[in-house]
Amino acid sequence: MRVNDFRAALARPHYPIGIAGHPTVLDRVQLPNPAIFGPGDPGYPDEAGIVAQRPSIERIIQPSQWYVDFYQPYCVNKLMVWPAGIDTDKIPDASVFPKYVDVLIYDKIRWNYDETYNSIIEPLKHKLNSSGLSFEIIRYEHYLPRDYAKYLKRAKTMAFVCEHETQGLACEQAMASNVPVFAWDEGQLADPKQIPYVQSDLRVSSVPYFDDRCGVRFTRANMMERFDAFWQARESFRPRDYIVETLSMEKCGSSYLEAYNAIAKQQGVR
């Protein structure tokens, strides 16, 4: 693998390259090579559509299927799903540590904060208190990464409260730590800047990488009954197994190489 080797790219104009970052990078990378753009931010869908029209751009990465669906009308057939890998060699299985917090509440509310807090987190706190369950609350961007690992070590479960995520790395770190997740997943786009671009049938997710091994999803309407089911089944979940199977560094790396090699084959590169 070569990093920022412009000379090598220019000498082999048919070899695919990867470009990460923002669209402004494209103006600085004046290379003829077919390219995979991402991971990065191509801008809002209309801006991403301009990126997609560049002849050299073969693929634009988005980290989950719902985000590909969101951009699809503007980028036609140039999108690909590619999530970042989770390095479980660096994330210990927290289930082996002593647990004395029943529920870690992860607050990543991003819009209409007070209304959402009062309709989701406050009722959940009341439910936990009335059930005699202990909890801690952490808020996105109000803690240090090393402290998050400490919270996960002592938590039996985590409630993840966020409107939607393109991948959800913090939640996936919890799952990689083998902490079962109770995830608010209303399925509706909340970002007011993205709503003008949305198709009527788009379904978003706060946990785009999740299955029955990971925990339980809930909505405002069924939060209480779903929590009871989640808590009763908490010891049966195996979220780390899901992460290893779906989002390992090896699997995600192989997925990127598969896309790269497909482009290389189209270019006649061996």
Instruction: Supply φ then ψ for residue 123, to 5 degrees.
Output: -60, -35
Please, what's the largest Cα pairwise distance for the chain? 68
What span, in angstroms and rounded, lies between the C-alpha atoms of 218 and 216?
A: 7
What is the pLDDT tens value at each position of the chain, 270 positions in all? 677 777 888 888 898 999 998 888 888 777 889 999 999 999 999 999 999 999 999 999 999 999 999 999 999 889 999 999 999 999 999 999 999 999 999 999 999 999 999 999 999 999 999 999 999 999 999 999 899 999 999 999 999 999 999 999 999 999 999 999 999 999 999 999 999 999 878 999 999 999 999 999 999 999 999 999 999 999 999 999 999 999 999 999 999 999 999 998 887 776
- Alpha-carbon distance values, 168 to 85, 127, 164 (Å): 12, 25, 8
Q: For tokens 């952490």, what's the residue?
A: 138
Domains (range + CATH), the chain: 6-85+248-266 (no CATH), 94-247 (3.40.50.2300)
**Which residue in this structure is represented by tokens 């299955």?**
211
**Residue type at position 12:** R
**Considering only CA atoms, which of 48, 96, 92, 85 is closest in space to residue 70?**
48
Q: Are 56 and 10 in contact (CB under 8 A)?
A: no
Residue 268's region, left for phi above 0, alpha for psi from -120 to 50, else beta, is: left
Query: Counting every residue, how long is the chain?
Result: 270
C-alpha triplet 252, 155, 106: angle, nearest 5°: 70
